[in-house]
Amino acid sequence: MLCLGSPAAAIEGYHREMNVEHNLEFVDPLELFARWLKEAETSEPNDANAAALATSTPDGDPSVRMVLVKRADDRGFCFFTNAESKKGMQLQANPRAALCFHWKSLQRQVRVEGRVTEMAAVDVDEYFHSRSRNSQIGAAISQQSRPLASREELEAQFRKFAEDHPGEVPRPPYWRGFCLHAEQIEFWISDEDRLHSRYLFTRDGGTWKKTLLYP
């Protein structure tokens, strides 16, 4: 593990570690992402696991929004949402997506692209019930992405649902988990004169191919 220091020192260290031309020790992109995320959790003011999620319709009409990635490992980059929302509908109609993490404090960015699958219901249940009670209620009543008459209506629905369910909050069937299975992962490192470094990892069967890209 590299020690945290100045941004310049960290950048120089990662240049050495990922240098393609000198064919240094191979870097597993999932392990590297985990290390970068861990560092971002100490330097970013809010939500180091936040990423822009890009989805599209089968016809290619795109949309993008921020999500919180709750798990990132060899099982995928996983997040939770209302499956009846715009992003949920697009993911089901066109199960391919892209994520972009940007950590300004570290001058780094990670882009991930690949196919998307749904998480098993038991895993979704486990995470849903690990959230605060109010967050569970909010997810249960939200008709995400659809028109809302007023804020007062939303708050009234919240209060009524809480009164009707004094015990465990049932997970609504439309609240699900999705995992993006990375086929490409790109690591971007800021550098002087906008000569940024970009390292692209492309999945090739059970291995990863590493390529250095122009800025």
- Domains of the chain by start residue, with CATH: 7-118+179-213 (2.30.110.10)
**Strand 197-204 with 207-213, pairing:** antiparallel
Cα 23 from Cα 128, distance rounded (Å): 44
Residue 194 bears catalytic tag: yes
Q: Which one-letter DSSP state was computed for residue 107? A: T
Q: Which of 65, 71, 75, 194 is catalytic?
A: 194
Q: Which pLDDT belongs to residue 193?
A: 87
Q: Which pLDDT belongs to residue 21?
A: 43
Residues 197/189, Cβ–Cβ less than 8 Å:
yes
Angle of the 133-141 helix axis to the 151-164 helix axis, nearest 10 = 120
Cα 60 from Cα 162, distance rounded (Å): 40
pLDDT of the chain, 215 residues: tens digit per residue: 333 445 555 556 655 565 544 343 557 999 999 999 999 999 999 999 999 999 999 999 999 999 999 999 988 999 999 999 999 999 999 999 999 999 999 999 999 999 999 999 999 999 999 999 999 999 999 998 899 999 999 999 999 999 999 999 999 999 999 999 999 999 999 988 888 999 999 999 889 999 999 99
Cα R_g (the chain), whole angstroms: 20
pTM score: 0.86
Q: Which pLDDT belongs to residue 22?
A: 38
